[in-house]
Chain A
Amino acid sequence: MEILIPVLIVAGIGLLAGIILAIASVVMAVPKDEKAEALLEVLPGANCGACGFSGCSGYAAALSKGEAKVGLCSPGGEACAKACAELLGVGDVAVEKKTALVHCMGSYDMTSDKMQYDGIESCSASTFLAGGITSCRFGCMGMGDCAAACAYGAISVCNGVASIDPKKCRGCSQCVAACPKGLISFVPLKKQAVVRCSNCDKGPQTMKVCKIGCIGCMKCVKSCDYEAVKVENFCAKVDPAKCVGCGKCVEACPRHVITLLEV
């Protein structure tokens, strides 16, 4: 009979704890958002933040509340957008395909290094030394911080300048964040002209540091029939919404820094 006392005490404490927990879980129940969980299953789970929300769970929660649009997930692409639309019961949505683009063509043939750098092999580390190793203070240093950040192997560094393969780019924006010079931004994936330079110095200064950099000569602006090209801060910019990809600015550019995006 003696054994009954400890058994009863332990069982009693367990039972008491169980009852308290059961009551607590009913009283303080949190309604689960089943739709958001289903959406989370569909999303790629890369937690890259390209949609503008904090990770996939944030986007799923916003989607289920109707606060976000379907198709913001670029790594997931069309398949993911369709699955989300199906779960939410909204019609098909067109996903604008976009790709990241390095706005610099300053390879070793075009720019020179202003120092013999022997430090950590990283763009962001070398920026601390006099703003980076390349003669152009805006240009690509070619040490591949962006390539290391890319989970899809879309970025290669060749001859001192990074380039992104639009076929492999999933638009996750990791490289945009990784580039210390802010050279990478998104452009819609269509036939259009893109200015591959970010140099905001005045023309003569640009000519000193780079053989190909934009000097702000305005020839592209004059050649464009659609008012798609503008020069701001001595650097040309193409508005993708207006550009039709006629290629006139590409021909007009004396520095050959405007190229046509191949699709």
Chain B
Amino acid sequence: MDLKFLVGIFLAAILTENYILNKFLGICPFLGVSKKLNTAVGMSCAVTAVMVIATAVTWPVYTYVLVPNDLSYLQTIVFILIIAALVQLLEIILRKYMPPLYNALGIYLPLITTNCAVLGVTMLVLEKGAADPNFGYVASLVNAFGAGIGFLVAMVLFAGVRERLELCDIPKFLRGLPITLIAASLVAVSFLGFNGIVDRLTA
């Protein structure tokens, strides 16, 4: 497993397979937390951490516990259980050692528990692993980290867009969520432009 392969996975997770803008997972925090830049960054960092830790735990559980017992159909419920427990643990640790970050994240930390992007990452890396024997544990972790960074990129970009939207004279019927969704779709379309770039870069 060479470095080029991992860099390719990392970049692909950010640009071409962006979980928000390409797979449309994790739309609720994307719309809910992107109003301000600093909360967007805080939320994205928390999501990235949870994604990596969740993948680090769910991958061995799936490979060494569920698959040998022919129980891969339990994937969803077991993963949700593990992610929920991990987020709780993270919350306890943050409250103890990083109270400012804990206060800044507020309600969003528990919300990660039910974040589909986190569940999506843990499940999709297994799908990839099944399709490609090269795609092992390390590659899964890199993919999860890239997905988190991709989340961060999308959130930060969109926070900038929304801060500009605040100052615009928007037609009344589009104000609020409608114009936000339209702006989100335009950002997503712009990410389509990255298609193929990563394959060429690492080919």
**A and B pair up:** yes
> Is the CB of B82 closer than 8 A to any CB of chain A?
yes
A30 at the interface (CB under 8 A from B): yes
Question: Complex Cα distance A18/B89, Å?
Answer: 10
**Is there contact, CB below 8 Å, between A21 and B69?**
no
Q: Which single member of A9, A10, A28 contacts B93 (CB below 8 Å)?
A: A28
Which one of B12-20, B21-29, B73-81, B170-178 is at the A interface?
Answer: B73-81
* Distance of A6 Cα from B77 Cα, bound (Å): 11
Mark A residues whose CB is within 8 Å of B: 5-6, 9-10, 13-14, 17-18, 20-21, 24-25, 28-30
Let me know if A9 and B85 touch, CB within 8 A.
no
Between-chain CB contacts (< 8 Å), 21 pairs? A5-B69, A6-B69, A6-B71, A9-B69, A9-B74, A10-B74, A10-B78, A13-B81, A13-B82, A14-B81, A18-B85, A20-B85, A20-B89, A21-B88, A24-B89, A24-B93, A25-B92, A28-B92, A28-B97, A30-B95, A30-B99
B82-104 with Cβ < 8 A to chain A: 82, 84-85, 88-89, 92-93, 95-97, 99
Contact residues of B with A, CB < 8 Å?
61, 65-66, 69, 71, 74, 77-78, 81-82, 84-85, 88-89, 92-93, 95-97, 99
Which residue on B lies nearest to A18, using beta carbons?
Answer: B85
Q: Is the CB of B61 within 8 A of A21?
A: no
Task: Decide if B65 touches A17 in the complex (CB within 8 Å).
Answer: no
> How far apart sit A227 and B168, CA to CA, in the bound complex (Å)?
52
Would you call B78 and A17 a contact (CB within 8 A)? no
Q: Closest A-chain residue to B85, C-beta based?
A: A17
Return the contact of A17 from the options B71, B81, B97 (Cβ within 8 A): B81
**A13 pairs with B95, CB closer than 8 A:** no
- CB neighbours of A14 from chain B (8 A): 81
Question: Within 8 Å CB of A30, what residues of B?
Answer: 95-96, 99
Kindly list chain A residues whose C-beta atoms are within 8 Å of the C-beta of B85. 17-18, 20-21
CA distance A10 to B65 in the complex (A): 10
Please state if B61 and A13 are interface contacts (CB–CB under 8 Å): yes
Q: How far is the CA of A253 from the CA of B69 in the complex (A)?
A: 94
User: Are B92 and A9 in contact, CB atoms less than 8 angstroms apart?
Assistant: no
**What residues of chain B lie closer than 8 Å to A28, measured between beta carbons?**
92-93, 95-97
> Would A21 and B92 be within 8 Å (CB), given that A9-B65, A10-B77, A13-B78 are in contact?
yes
